[in-house]
Amino acid sequence: MPNKISVSISTYARQFAQTLPLHLDAIYFIKKHQPWRGMKRYRWMARALLGAAILLGFFFFKDAFLQAKEAIGDPQKFGASISSFWSGFSFEKMDWALHGSVKYLVLIVLEIFTFHFIQRALEIQTGRKPNNSFKAFVTAEKRMVKASFIAYVSETILRIVAKTLLGIFGLNVLLGQPVSLLIQFYFLGFLILDNYHECFGLTLKESRKRTKKVLGAALAVGGVAYILMYVPLVGVVAASMIGAVTAAYAMERFAPLSGEGAGAAGSGE
């Protein structure tokens, strides 16, 4: 058993380390192929959702803008507030996405981009023909709502359990926040990777099972997406687009389905 655990940890660590640089490949892919150009058929919906996502980003960062304005008016007061912030620094204080539902709402709003970018990446990388029908994207949106609810409930339960167990051993102060973040990274990564599985007709249950086998990749994809969400305005959009392409690259490397003759995109819920 100890050997199996060590092998699993080693495998997940390797997946994590190899997935992180794939984000740079994803950025290059997006610059070169401009996947958004294939969204003409549902341009009106894409623009509306993009606008909603940017508004979400603005809403979450308006406090930062107000602080910047305050700095211009009274630099001394602003400096004091920054000093006070860092003296009592906590992920809980700065994290607009920490409490579950908001980050999932972002992914639901941007699902049309995530699903399209993953399909486009697979098309170019493997030659797989995408399903760009309106019906496929409606199905993907419904699935994302369902998957987000499952992820939100699972994340909430796991964080409570982790906090309780760490509290018993007196480790909550030391490890509480890092463990909480890792749990969130995983479920955020799961939702992005699920788009890959959906392209091949896997059910949510099958997707969850396969994602556990690529836990390291899920942590890397979810972690980077989580951090990108802090970038004002465009961060939430970048998290969706870059995360989608990276997910396609990672899954094709660690657990490919492209050669298994799976079902058409958008067919599995």
Within this chain, do residues 228 and 244 fall inside the same structural domain, yes or no?
yes
Q: Is residue 265 part of a domain?
A: no
CA nearest 229: which of 190, 185, 196? 185
pLDDT in tens, 207-246: 999 999 999 999 999 999 999 987 876 788 899 999 999 9
On whether both 13 and 75 belong to a single domain, the answer is no
The 10s digit of each residue's pLDDT in 129-157 is 988 888 898 999 999 999 999 999 999 99
CB-CB neighbours of 181 under 10 Å: 18
Residue-wise pLDDT tens digits, 249-267 = 999 999 999 876 444 444 4
Highest averaged pLDDT of the listed ranges 51-55, 96-100, 199-203: 199-203
Query: Using one digit for the tens of pLDDT, what is the confidence trace for 156-187?
Result: 999 999 999 999 999 988 999 999 999 999 99
Q: What local confidence, expressed as pLDDT, does residue 248 receive?
A: 97
Residue 262 lies in a domain: no
Q: Which of 127, 141, 134, 269 is nearest to 197 (CA)?
A: 269
Round to whole Å and give the CA distance between 244 and 224: 11
Q: Where are the alpha helices (DSSP H) in the chain?
A: 2-19, 22-33, 43-60, 62-73, 75-87, 91-94, 101-109, 111-126, 134-168, 172-199, 204-213, 215-228, 235-254
Number of domains into which the chain is organized: 2
CA distance 249 to 269: 22
Q: What pLDDT, on the 0 to 100 scale, is given for residue 52?
A: 63
pLDDT tens digit string along 1-45? 556 677 789 999 999 999 999 999 999 999 999 988 777 666 656
pLDDT at residue 82 greater than cutoff 50: no
pLDDT exceeds cutoff 50 at 98? no
Q: Are both 176 and 200 inside the same structural domain?
A: yes
Nearest 5°: phi and psi at 139?
-65, -40
Domain range for 235 is 2-61+96-254
The verdict on residue 69 lying in a domain is yes
Q: pLDDT value at position 230?
A: 79
Distance of alpha carbon 191 from alpha carbon 201, whole angstroms: 15
How far is Cα 226 from Cα 206, in angstroms, rounded to an integer? 24
Kindly report the pTM of this predicted structure.
Answer: 0.81
| Distance from C-alpha of 51 to C-alpha of 166, rounded to nearest angstrom | 41
Same domain, 104 and 88: no
